Structure 1
Amino acid sequence: MARGNEESANGSWKKQVDDIKKIFELKEILGTGAFSEVVLAQERSTGKMYAVKCIPKKALRGKESSIENEIAVLRKIKHENIVALEDIYESPNHLYLIMQLVSGGELFDRIVERGFYTEQDASALIKQVLDAVNYLHSLGIVHRDLKPENLLYYNQDESKIMISDFGLSKMEGAANDIMSTACGTPGYVAPEVLAQKPYSKAVDCWSIGVISYILLCGYPPFYDENDSKLFEQILKADYEFDSPYWDDISDSAKDFISNLMLKNPEKRFTCDQALLHPWIAGDTALRKNIHESVSRQMKKNFAKAKWRQAFNATAVIRHMKRLQLGSSLGSSIDSTQHRNQNQTPAPIKSQSVDVSSISHKDYASQRGSGAKEKRCTRPSTVTTIITGSK
């Protein structure tokens, strides 16, 4: 297949096609988003399988910059741990992104299915993520939505992790722009993003810290059924290594996470620093099997395929104002709303994860009684926050 990554003589990087079905046999739908669907497709000329992201042009009206941003990011990237954009086609009614097919399933699903899982396994997973994100950062790209759902296995046989979904990615410093949009998924997003302060690639390092935390215990570091309390925890970087779940985890692992989940982004580990930490580069990751406890918590705390939901910017801003996170956040939201009050809001992609509510009182009672398990199961939906265009 002739690749569409190179621009044609007229400057267009999209190939014109009347009917994509002439080139690909479209099979089952792999997933759906706010304004697109991903379809398994087989190239007729070679028999090779791809994932084709099909985007109706009518759904792009008012969101052209978002998809153009994703394409611009994907076209710059070539890394073994990042899902590749292979080609781009355009028909009269659709835009088609021909993506590398990744078939190994989601990160948590594979861990749960395993019978043996250790700190060393978690360390090897995070090293791959760090390598890929470090590569992105070297290109000036900030992912901004790193989370387990966006970490996929390449296939069923290999342990290679692939980073996907660049819909919220941003070129750092593009057009002298300062990143300040509150976007991402709150359970994984850095405090400075949620507070709508200017931020940088350090936000990705925070997210990697959150993912590392979950990989070692099976539950998220921030949790509350009440969104405002959840946000307050994140803004304060208020998390713990609770007993008994962290009793058998190494001090090195805790130190690694603590340096990634620092409230101050200037003091937070960069990817380069994290890659040099003994838990990643050395031999401090323990070999003890922690599969039983971690997989049990993952199954309790992460519901599958319940995180897609669409919102518009105005509705999200109103939601955040109701939470009353503080005067600085409120004034920032007010100014955003003022800038957008004469604009017609366009629907945008949003995601949520179902996270079981856990309270610190639960852990206190466990420590006092010696009980090994006490978990609340009532789900709390945590929605993605996107409040601007930067």
Structure 2
Amino acid sequence: MEGTDLASKYDIGDTLGVGAFSEVKLATNKHTGERYAIKIIDRAKCKGKESMIDTEIKILQQVRHDNIIQLHELYKEENRIYLVMELVTGGELFDDIVGRGKYGERDAANLVHKILKAIDYLHCLGIAHRDLKPENLLLSDKSATPKVMISDFGLSKIFNDEEVTKTACGTPGYVAPEVLKRQGYGREVDLWSIGVITYIFLCGYPPFYHTNNVVLFKQIMSGKFEFDRPWWDSISDAAKDFIRHLLVLDPQQRYTAREALAHPWIVHYCGVTRTEDLSPVIVKRNKSRRRTDTL
């Protein structure tokens, strides 16, 4: 809504958060009383990052999923862009993990199940998030059973059918090995990140860690990780098998979101995910095995 007076429709309230070139404020619709979060992007602060902002807005305008943060309205002014977003009040999943230490298998599987359904939806639209981590997963509210919501599409990428990218991006501990090798990568990077997140859910620490990023990246590119004793002794073999199918060096052998949803560990706790509840898929074949890719 270019040129529309935002203030005539919304009461702008407290600051909820501040980023490198934006801030988020609480807003209340004057007519309905509904509350939203307004992300205010300062155009002057994002010089050189315009394409990243444009991609994020394009994605937010396109997606509609229960586990993805929703954009309700867009306002543009000469110096600022206003994104009227769905308000979530449960905080970051990262803080919830820190508070709990770790999750039980049922809770972890239920969270991962919701994340996978949202990622399957994005991948079917040709979108890779590219920066999945607990800090970018929000909880809808502070109830005992909040929704988990994927947010922050600033590093996301819209892929064409056969497109790969060599741009290094993401957060060090969650980044896929093919990103570090800069040999080209696709949507499979998100499943690696989900593998790391699942590992953390179950034990409270990451599978790859070092204070020196050079050493950390070598660990990731080796693909070697352990289920350390005694922390993993009580965790099921099914959970470990699920992680092993995601933390796979070869992205062509790594589970897709749909394959991960069908894994026995997810099915045991969450039931069978019905095909009609997911986006359409196109089945491709390669020399190594039958594979289902989402487009």
TM-score band w.r.t. shorter chain: 0.7 to 0.9
Q: 2:198 is matched with which residue?
A: 212
1:212-260: per-residue Cα shift (whole Å, max 9, x none)?
0000000011111222111100111121111111111111100000000
In structure 2, what is the Cα distance between the partners aligned to 1:100 and 1:120? 27
For residues 51-95 of structure 1, what are the alpha-carbon distances to aligned partners after superposition, in whole Å with 9 as ceiling and x for unaligned?
Answer: 111012222332221111111111110000000011100123211
* Post-superposition offset of 1:186: 1.2
TM-score normalised by L of structure 1: 0.66
Give runs of aligned pairs for residues 201-350 of structure 1, distance below 5 A: 201-282=187-268
Q: Distance in 2 between matches of 1:254 and 1:139?
A: 30
Q: Does 1:190 align with 2:151?
A: no
SS in 1 for 2:224: coil
The answer to whether structure 1 residue 17 and structure 2 residue 4 are counterparts is yes
Question: What is the 5 A alignment of 1:96-107?
Answer: 96-107=82-93
Check whether the contact 2:36–2:86 (CA below 8 A) recurs between aligned residues.
yes
CA distance in 1, matches of 2:159, 2:2: 28
Q: C-alpha displacement at 1:284, in angstroms?
A: 10
Q: Which amino acid aligns with 2:233?
A: D
**Of 165-174 and 121-130, the range deviating more from structure 2:** 165-174
Distance 1:209 1:25 in 2: 41
Give yes or no for the alignment of 1:170 onto 2:170.
Answer: no
Superimposed CA distance per residue, residues 170-218 of structure 1 (whole angstroms, 9 cap, x where no aligned partner) = 11128x8531111000100100011112111110000000000000000
Please point out which of 2, 9, 16 is paired with 1:30: 16
Instruction: Show the 5 A alignment for 1:38-187.
Output: 38-111=24-97, 113=99, 117-157=103-143, 158-173=145-160, 178-187=164-173
Inter-partner Cα distance in structure 2 for 1:26 and 1:170: 31
Write the distance in 1 (CA, Å) between the matches of 2:210 and 2:157.
29
Q: Is the 8 A contact 1:53 1:97 kept in 2?
A: yes
Task: Name the SS for the 1:146 alignment partner.
Answer: coil
Change (3 A) 1:229 1:112: closer
SS of the counterpart of 1:28? strand
TM-score scaled by structure 2?
Answer: 0.86
Indicate the larger mover: 53-62 or 144-153: 53-62
Q: What are structure 2's unaligned runs of at least 5 residues? A: 272-295
For structure 1, the residue ranges without an aligned partner over 5 or more in a row are 1-13, 286-390
| CA distance in structure 2 between the partners assigned to 1:228 and 1:116 by the alignment | 27
Return structure 1 stretches of 4+ with deviation > 4 angstroms. 111-117
Structure 1: which amino acid aligns with 2:117? D
- Post-superposition shift, 1:15? 3.1
Instruction: Output the CA distance in 1 between the equivalents of 2:101 and 2:239.
Output: 22
For 2:101 and 2:205, how far apart are their aligned partners in 1?
19
One-letter amino acid matched to 1:258:
R
The residue aligned with 2:287 is none
Q: Kindly indicate whether the alpha-carbon contact (under 8 Å) linking 1:222 and 1:234 is maintained by their aligned counterparts in 2.
A: yes
Work out the percentage of aligned pairs sharing the same amino acid.
52
Task: Give the residue type in structure 1 aligned to 2:85.
Answer: M
**1:234 counterpart SS class:** helix
Name the SS for the 1:96 alignment partner. Answer: strand
| Aligned mates of 1:48, 1:194 — CA distance in 2 | 43
Distance in 2 separating the partners of 1:108 and 1:68:
27
